[in-house]
Each structure stands twice: as structure tokens, then as C-alpha cells.
Amino acid sequence: MDTIIKKITNSPEDKEVYQQAAQIIHNGGLVAFPTETVYGLGADAMNKAAAAQIYQAKGRPSDNPLIIHIAEVEELGRVAEEVNEKAKKLMKEFWPGPLTLIFRKKKEVPFETTGGLDTVAVRMPSHPVAQKLIKESRTVIAAPSANTSGKPSPTQASHVKEDLYGKIDMLIDGGNVGIGIESTIMDMTVEPPMLLRPGYITMPMLEQAIGKIQVDPFLAGDMKEPVKPKAPGMKYRHYAPKAELFIVEGELSQVVAKINYLAEEKRKQGYKIGIIATEETKGFYCGDSVRVIGTRKDEASIAKHLFSVLREFDKMGTEYIFSEAFSEENLGQAIMNRLIKAAGHQIIRL
């Protein structure tokens, strides 16, 4: 299949793009589109066959449920049961925005969309392209990240093209996304509500809005027995670059010295090396494959470039990547969650 690629130009011509995309969704096809977090791969969430196609295009395990994207609060009633007061508070505070909430599902929502679960994940994106597409489609749209399963999530249209060209009907190019990591996921079916995946909406922000929350023990990662995550998708090795990635953690000057040492060792053995640095440290590294991920003064800048830096190293044929660790406070929790997964838990602690 040829994938139709259309750019959003903020001109009257965009109307036709949305109409064409909505028609594809209506007919059970697949459309990739930008959201404020990452690019999503959308299909009609209420259409079994369409939802099933998403798994095929991504090579996604069928037990990994999809997030349903809505454009108006009223649409929540079509898919979710028992929306409690705390959920309403979070919606009021953070929707539209990068927060996904888990509810009991309405029976009309197909199990193909929920990966066989009785619960459903719902989010209202704030990105204008996502909003317009959902409204024009007159349905709710199931959309996981628009990457091949296991690869870093797509933050630009070119990433989607690399992974899914020829496997999906249409790609709407709305430029680079703003946030760069996936939504925060909160399970609202338990009390206190439980954080299943950290994201741009941080724990202090959530607790400010609704008081105490619990954290999925899987996220803490310090259990003696292996535990299963409540969000099935969290168990897979994710975001993985082709290279072996190591995170080096400790006092920053020691981290820089250790990374230089390790990189030089691998370089001497003939490997292609990449280093993930920050504005604050870039000047201290030797070699030409240093990539600045952002500044330590603004965690959002690090989140925004994380996946694109990993993809860039893939393109360069990098074999070993060494990355500095970041603080796990606030947004750092989400950044380190993604980075540690990308590294397959290879952390060197100094």
C-alpha cells in the first residue's frame, strides 16, 4: 500500500486533509497524526477490525491495550463507566493534555481496543491537529505511538515514515511534537488512584490535584520478586535503539570522566560510539559523536529530544551509546523511566 502523506500548512487547504483522514478512519483504515506527546497511529476505537490492524502495522503484542483519544468530555460516556470525583478533578485540571485515565470500560468498546481487559484508557489530547481529526472523524480514536513496536517513539513525521511507510493509509505531518514522551497514565479504578506510567504530568502535580496517589510497584523496580506491571505495555523492552546503551550515574564530573574512559575503550576496539550529553557537559567530552539532549536547567528540553537522539544514533550506525543519568525528581521520573528501558536496565553506578 502507498501511504498518503499530507502536511498541515495552517491554510484553508488543511480542511481537505482532515476530511480525507476522517474518511479513512470511518472506513476502518489507519492514520498517523501528531499529538502533543508523540505521534499516534489512529483507528476507529469502536471498530474491532480497525483496532486489530493497528497491532499488525506496529507488530504490537495483542495483549498491549490502546489508548482511546477523545475531543470532548461528553465522549467519555461512550467508552467509560464510573467516572469518580477524583477523575473529574484530574480531567478539569489536565485535559486537554498529556494525562491518560483508566476506567471500567463500556461493553460497546471492543476487546481488540483494550487488549482483552475490562478497563479502558482514555485521553483528550491538546494538539490542534489531533483535536480536529477526532472531531472530523465523528468517532473516538484508538491510538498508540506510531512507531514499530519496541523502537523509540516518534516525535517527528519522518520517524513515522521510517517505521510505517507502506503499512498505514495516511500520515498527517504536523511538524515536531512539543513534549516528546508519552502521556502519564493513572488507574482511576483503584483507591487511592495509581500511577502506572510517569509522564509530563508529574506526581507532585497529580497529588496537588487529588491528594495521595499510589505508584505501581513495578515502577519502583526494587521488588525482590519480579512483579507484573498493571499497564501491560510497560513490561516490554521499549524505546530501544539498535546500539547497546549504558547509563552512567553519579557525581557529574566523575560521570563525564567515566564516559570518556568507556567510550575511548570501545573506540579503540573499533566500535562506533555515541555520547548523550547536556549543554552543561558537552565541552568536556572527546570525539565527534556527542549529542546534546537538552539542558539540566530545563528537564522538558531533555524529554523533548530523548527519542530523536536515540533514532539519530540508529541512523549513524552507532554500536555503543553512553548516557549521563538525570535526576528522578518531577519530570525526571518519566525521563529516567524511558532511558532505563531503552538501556535494558544497564546502569553503571559510580
308 binds ligand AMP (CB under 6 A): no
The number of angstroms, rounded, from the C-alpha of 12 to the middle of its chain's C-alpha atoms is: 31
Neighbours of 39 (CB within 10 A): 30
- Closer of 67 and 255 to Mg ion (Cβ): 67
302 binds ligand AMP (CB under 6 A): no
Instruction: Kindly state the smallest distance separating residue 52's Cβ from ligand AMP, in Å.
Output: 15
184 binds Mg ion (CB under 5 A): no
Residue 210 C-beta-side C-alpha neighbours within 13 Å: 23
- Closer of 111 and 236 to Mg ion (Cβ): 236
Angstrom distance (rounded) from CA 201 to CA 219: 16
Instruction: Kindly state the smallest distance separating residue 20's Cβ from ligand AMP, in Å.
Output: 24
Query: Do 247 and 346 contact (CB within 8 A), yes or no?
Result: yes
DSSP code of residue 229: -
- Which segment (51-59, 142-150, 195-203, 314-322) binds Mg ion by CB under 5 A? 142-150
181 binds ligand AMP (CB under 6 A): no
Count of residues engaged in binding ligand AMP, rule: CB under 6 A: 20
323 binds Mg ion (CB under 5 A): no
- Which segment (61-69, 73-81, 163-171, 321-329) binds ligand AMP by CB under 6 A? 61-69
100 binds Mg ion (CB under 5 A): no
Q: What are 45's three cell numbers?
A: 476505537
β-bridge partners, 274 = 321
98 binds ligand AMP (CB under 6 A): no
Instruction: Choose from Mg ion, ligand AMP, none: what does 168 bind? Cβ within 5-8 Å by kind.
Output: none
β-bridge partners, 247 = 323, 347
- Closer of 91 and 121 to ligand AMP (Cβ): 121
Instruction: Kindly state the smallest distance separating residue 123's Cβ from ligand AMP, in Å.
Output: 9
Count of residues engaged in binding Mg ion, rule: CB under 5 A: 1
Instruction: Kindly state the smallest distance separating residue 147's Cβ from Mg ion, in Å.
Output: 6
- Of residues 139, 145, 184, 308, which one binds ligand AMP by CB under 6 A? 145
155 binds Mg ion (CB under 5 A): no
Locate the DSSP E strands across 45-156. 67-69, 80-81, 99-105, 119-123, 141-142
Neighbours of 4 (CB within 10 A): 15
30 binds ligand AMP (CB under 6 A): no
145 binds Mg ion (CB under 5 A): yes
- Of residues 45, 67, 80, 256, which one binds ligand AMP by CB under 6 A? 67
Angstrom distance (rounded) from CA 44 to CA 156: 23
Strand 31-34 and strand 244-249: the pairing is: unpaired
Dihedral over Cα of 132, 138, 144, 146: its sign: negative
Instruction: Kindly state the smallest distance separating residue 70's Cβ from ligand AMP, in Å.
Output: 14
102 binds ligand AMP (CB under 6 A): yes
Q: What are 62's three cell numbers?
A: 495483542
Angstrom distance (rounded) from CA 232 to CA 235: 6
**Residues numbered 104-143 forming contacts with ligand AMP, rule: CB under 6 A:** 114, 117, 119-121
Angstrom distance (rounded) from CA 181 to CA 172: 19
- Closer of 36 and 182 to ligand AMP (Cβ): 182
4 binds ligand AMP (CB under 6 A): no
Residue with cell 525528581: 329
Residues in the chain: 350
| Longest pairwise C-alpha distance within the chain | 61
311 binds ligand AMP (CB under 6 A): no
Applying CB under 5 A, which residues contact Mg ion?
A: 145
